Amino acid sequence: MAGGKLPPRAGSGKSLKDFTIQASVHVEVDNDVKGALTRLKPEVALYVGGMGHRTKNFHNDIMVRRGFGDAAKRIQELYLAGHKAEAIATVPDEWVDLKSLVGPPARIRERYRAWEDSGADSLSVRSGQPEAIEVMAKAARLN
């Protein structure tokens, strides 16, 4: 502490106004909502069940904090035991639906409003479908 100055600390003098919040959403355009949710489950199972350490997994922790603790625990147990198909099947549809925008374009546009009102400054769209980008561009223009 030369010159009487304190060493720098994380967050010293910063507030939320100093940060840009970037959200990310997976978008699947499909009239079969259940089928679209099912296609996203393997990635969820990998991140919730197989990423990080058993006791320190950001994705698992978020699932627990959002009220899906039992499912998160079971997904991780199954995934780490090598039962990946069972872990995937254990991922709740409701969880995938909360963190993605899937279904026909009208459903995606309607559900986009919650993302727009979330407080995020920008939204990255994750999709392998060119149509998804078009649907999201239209949703952003309409809202």
Over residues 79-134, the pLDDT tens digits come to 999 999 999 999 999 999 999 999 999 999 999 999 888 888 899 999 999 999 99
In terms of Cα–Cα distance, which of 138, 86, 131 is closest to 110?
138
Q: What does R_g of the chain's alpha carbons equal in angstroms?
A: 19
At 65 the pLDDT is 96
* CA 118 vs CA 54, 58, 67: distances in Å: 30, 20, 19
Least confident of 7-11, 70-74, 134-138: 7-11
Helix, strand or coil, per DSSP, at residue 135: helix
Please give the model's pTM, rounded to 2 decimal places.
0.83
Q: 31 or 51, which is more confident?
A: 31
